[in-house]
Amino acid sequence: MSSKDAHDGNKLLVLNAGSSSLKFAIYNAGIGAEMPALLLKGQIAGIGQDRTRLEVKALQGEAPDWPFEADAISTHREALSLLIDRLAITREKATWLGIGHRVVHGGTAYSAPIVITDNDIAALESICPLAPLHQPHNVAAIKALRDLLPDMPQVACFDTGFHADNPERITRFALPERFWRAGIRRYGFHGISYEAILHRLQQEKIDIPSRLVIAHLGNGASMAAIKDGKGIASSMGFSTLEGLVMGTRPGSIDPGVLLHLLHDGMSLGDLEKLLYHQSGLLGLSGISADMKTLSDSKDPAAARAIDLYCHRIAMELARMSAELQGLDMMIFTGGIGENAANIRAAVCNEAAWLGLSLASGANERAAHPAGPLQISIAGKHVRVMVVPTDEEGVIARHCKELISHI
């Protein structure tokens, strides 16, 4: 992609660094437009594994001739060097406005997007123990780019930021005061996705109801209760382990189980591996963490895992409705929420007592990347919708706003 693809100084790179992948999206920030325009997106997958592949899809024009599969790229820094080369950022630096990152955890200090400084990098690195599955990779990408492109502005957007003003009675644990002061509290996650959904409703001129629950269902999963357009509760808490059953994470579990396993001789490392990588749908089924694989399986263990998964969502929906003192709308989003009609149907069937009722044809037709689609029966009190999320778009918008004022 050359400088003719965007106005000078208007291109944005948005990154989401995972444990073995680097997802990216390129935007043209434009002049005067509220939302940057998505040009292309892709990922470098298999970082640190046997084979690494680069995938890219153009949203405007032809896709560049980048895709490849090669011997392993061992670090995120190597992956970023490859991406910088493919994007010609060093050679065409004047055409780039900046780089935005999804950062999972902002702790108690960061509740809004920031332009990153060296002090911020140190602070974000100190939070890594609070989100060991995500934060180290987020910070590693920021640090690598600080070296590779030292003059390029970088922006961090935090998944915890959306929930920063949740009421104290929801975010406090029943522990002594010193733990609250030390930052032991419920933070909530997937906030960038929730922000994206609210923004999409506004774009589509769909009234945001007083009592809204959004279910972000992907490999990681959570729900948020939103009162009059403002988040008040999240199913996730201090870590990304609490709440719903996920791909490889168990969701809420009696802390006594964890104490028992430790007393029984399990090491802290093995316990962490169990909770982050071996539980959830994978652990329940013994087959896969992938919902489509389980939905296509005839194995009773797959059906059992799906049943428990949907039941936990329905029960959490009831809790969120209690926080809101009622329910006007529920929205499904995320990879599973947008694409798995069977999961939406099972959840709504179990939560029918709350007023959820699906129009079966609409539910079957709802699929990403379709726009917001109501899948509930018209005229029912509780509207049920499927709304594709756009976390990268939210990050690009914050990048444009923040960097333009530097």
Residue 396 lies in a domain: no
Does any domain span residue 178? Answer: no
CATH of the domain at 154: 3.30.420.40
Q: Is residue 227 part of a domain?
A: yes
Residue 226, annotated ligand binder?
no
| pLDDT reported for residue 4 | 41
163 located within any domain: no
Regarding whether 216 and 154 lie in a shared domain, the answer is no
In a domain, 406, yes or no: no
Question: Which of residues 99, 129, 158 is at a domain's end?
Answer: 158
Please state the pTM of the whole predicted model.
0.94
Domain assignment of residue 300, yes or no? yes
Going by their DSSP bridges, the two strands 221-227 and 211-217 should be labelled as: antiparallel
Confirm whether residue 216 is marked as ligand binding. Answer: yes
Q: Where is the domain boundary, 119, 142, 158?
A: 158
Q: Is 269 annotated as a binding residue?
A: no
Domain boundary among 158, 193, 217: 158
Q: Which residues are the active-site residues? A: 159
Query: How do residues 254-305 score in pLDDT, each as one tens digit?
Result: 999 999 999 999 999 999 999 999 999 999 999 999 999 999 999 999 999 9
Determine, yes or no, domain membership for 173: no
Q: Is 10 assigned a ligand-binding role in the annotation?
A: no
Q: What is the pLDDT of residue 70?
A: 66
Number of domains in the chain: 2
Q: Is 28 annotated as a binding residue?
A: no
- Indicate if 243 and 148 belong to the same structural domain: no
391 is in an annotated binding site: yes
Q: Domain limits at 112?
A: 3-158
Q: Mention every residue, 6+ apart, whose C-beta is less than 8 A from residue 79.
A: 22, 44, 47, 52, 73
- DSSP class per residue in 101-159: EEES--TTT--S-EE--HHHHHHHHHTGGGSTTTHHHHHHHHHHHHHHSTTS-EEEEET
The 10s digit of each residue's pLDDT in 172-228 is 999 999 999 999 999 999 999 999 999 999 999 999 999 999 999 999 999 999 999
**SS3 at position 53:** strand
